Amino acid sequence: MGKPTGFIEYLREQPVDRTPHERVRDWKEFHHHMEEKRLRQQAARCMDCGVPFCHTGKLVSGMASGCPINNLIPEWNDLVYRGLWREALERLHLTNNFPEFTGRVCPAPCEGSCVLGITNPPVTIKTIEAAIIDRGWEEGWVVPEPPKTRTGKKVAVIGSGPAGLAAAAQLNRAGHSVTVLERADRPGGLLMYGIPNMKLDKRAVVERRLKLMEQEGIKFVCNANVGENVEPQLLLKDFDAIVICTGATRPRDLPVEGRHLKGIHFAMEYLTASTKALLDGNADASPIHARGKDVVVIGGGDTGTDCVATAMRHGCKSITQIEIMPKPPMDRAPDNPWPEWPKIYKMDYGQEEAAAKFGADPRAYQRTVKRFNGDANGAVKEVVTVGIVWEKNEKGQLIPVEVPGTEEVQPAQLVLLAMGFLGPEQELLKDLEIETDERSNIKAEHGKFATNVKGVFAAGDCRRGQSLVVWAINEGRGAARECDRYLMGETELP
């Protein structure tokens, strides 16, 4: 390492965010860039550890530990410290097709398993990753790289989220002719409509990469809903192979009294409508709007946070986020050791914005919804919640148990259900006669990605269940490798 004592000399720093009061007035990304001198100092904190865990990409206690796509983090940290930005970009692109996406939306399991993090704040890996790729675009180093020769093989990729895009990019690199089918009006899947613009800019970041992929020879077909206006069996005849990357888009519902009331929506309905209105030119034209309303978000994950932040920009009257789990500790608990993902309390950007306006973290922990009350017009007007404790049942499983006397009623004219996803939609899988597992995900072994139907592969959330963008990229690349091997008998894809 160029600076063996860097981790001793420099403290962890991150880019300064735009203030919550400023950023909730627009839909622009909320991070400022960090100057090069400070970035190089942050890269110098990478400590040349004997066994780096940051790029291991393993599941520990069911959570990601280290980078799932095995980014060569110590290598490009060293290159950034030495000012060799173009070489750092080359190392970054060896493992990651879309570092401008992961550098913005990944929760950074690499930092959770950073060896320096055992005793000090970890290296700002995610910040450095984003800086490398952003500089690459600014300097003109990221250019179309179409394959020199074509194989004559045709592959259809169903779904244009992170898994589908990664599979398409790799298969195109191998020389196959790739067509990506997307049922929405714009390609990008989760990256386009599932993540708000202030977290991942659609025009400046997502569409820029999609345009480059088109220049490399990938064809995107939108409004192509396979199973409805595209015949699945014809795809089997027209293409030499198919890669299914449809995601886990069946949301978990909340079947309690009053669920039928108007004003109760799944989170993705809300986020999609908001982003589509913004991209169509009028953010205020969203058919699901929070302006002047008491908003309740049910679910404490990233999607719930995105709903909070979107409602803040819509000008909600109040915001509450219901979280069934206990409030995490400020530091790692004894049963959550390094290099596991640190389950500690933090406020993400949405909670910061709500706290700045309303004076407190909007999350209410260890509570669940008992029922929704409606008004005379059949619209939701109140949410009734109750406190819970987690206790073990006769099978030793932890279950939520209501605490008597803890019912609370709060006003709500907009309720957003952000409680996760159950798996892929089943109609397409039935049409293609794809086997599924006990969780309704596509049955395809990780590492092979082949389904029971010859020439059909699966990758991403539709195969593994709801997960991270970075795992989707891992799977898309892996499925492309195995698809290439199926088509050609061998493969040189990583």
User: What does the pLDDT read at residue 3?
Assistant: 86
Q: Which residue has the tokens 């519902």?
A: 253
Task: Map out the domains of the chain as residue ranges.
Answer: 6-139, 154-249+422-488, 253-419
| 2 compared with 126, residue with greater pLDDT | 126
Average pLDDT, the chain: 96
pLDDT higher than 80, residue 445:
yes
Please give the pLDDT value at position 418.
Answer: 98
Q: Which helix (H) or strand (E) holds 234?
A: helix 232-238
From 92, 162, 95, select the one nearest 128 (Cα to Cα). 92
Count the residues in the chain: 494
- Give the chain's largest Cα–Cα span: 71
**pLDDT: is 61 or 469 the higher one?**
469
Chain centre to alpha carbon of residue 221:
23
Count of other CB atoms within 10 angstroms of residue 346: 9
pLDDT in tens, 279-302: 999 999 999 999 999 999 999 999
Count other C-beta atoms under 10 Å from residue 363's C-beta.
24
* Non-local CB neighbours of 35 within 8 Å, separated by 6+ positions: none
Alpha-carbon gap, residue 143 to 210, rounded angstroms: 12
Mean pLDDT of 70-83: 96
Q: Which helix (H) or strand (E) holds 172?
A: helix 162-173
Q: What is the mean pLDDT of residues 73-82?
A: 96
- Measure the CA–CA gap between 278 and 195, rounded to whole angstroms: 13
Mean pLDDT of 480-492: 98
Average pLDDT over residues 396-405: 94
Strand order in the sheet with 294-298: 264-266, 414-417, 294-298, 318-323, 363-365
Q: What is the pLDDT of residues 342-398, one digit of tens each?
A: 999 999 999 999 999 999 999 999 999 999 999 999 999 999 999 999 999 998 899
The whole-number pLDDT of residue 1 equals 63
Q: Please state the rounded mean pLDDT for residues 224-241.
A: 95
Give pLDDT, residue 171: 98
pLDDT at 63: 85
> What is the CATH topology of the domain spanning 6-139?
Fumarate Reductase Iron-sulfur Protein; Chain B, domain 2 (1.10.1060)
Cβ count near 68 (within 10 Å): 25
Residue 475 has pLDDT above 70, yes or no: yes
- β-partners of residue 410 are 383
Q: How sure is the predictor about 11, in pLDDT bands with cuts at 50, 70 and 90?
A: very high
Q: How many helices (H) and strands (E) does the chain have?
A: 17, 18
Q: Where are the alpha helices (DSSP H) in 359-391?
A: none
Q: Over the stretch 297-323, which tens digit does the pLDDT of each residue have? A: 999 999 999 999 999 999 999 999 999
Q: Could you tell me the two tokens for 124? A: 């700002």
Question: In the prediction, which pLDDT does 62 show?
Answer: 86
The answer to whether 122 and 114 are in contact (CB under 8 A) is yes
pLDDT at 188 over 80: yes
- The closest alpha carbon to 132, from 238, 246, 42, belongs to 42
DSSP H helices, 362-468, are 427-431, 461-464
- pLDDT of the residue at 260: 98
Helices (H), 399-440: 427-431
pLDDT at res. 182: 98
Per DSSP, the three-state class of 95 is helix
Helix or strand run (H / E) with residue 272: helix 267-279
Alpha helix locations (H) across 250-362?
Answer: 267-279, 302-314, 349-358
> Is the domain covering 253-419 a CATH 3.50.50.60 domain?
yes
Give pLDDT, residue 61. 87
Q: What CATH class has 154-249+422-488?
A: alpha beta
User: What residue type is 242 in one-letter code?
Assistant: I
Same fold? 6-139, 253-419: no
Does an H or E element contain 100, and which?
helix 99-105
Share of the chain above pLDDT 70, in %: 100
Asked whether the predicted pLDDT for residue 201 surpasses 80, the reply is yes
Q: Three-state DSSP class for 204?
A: helix
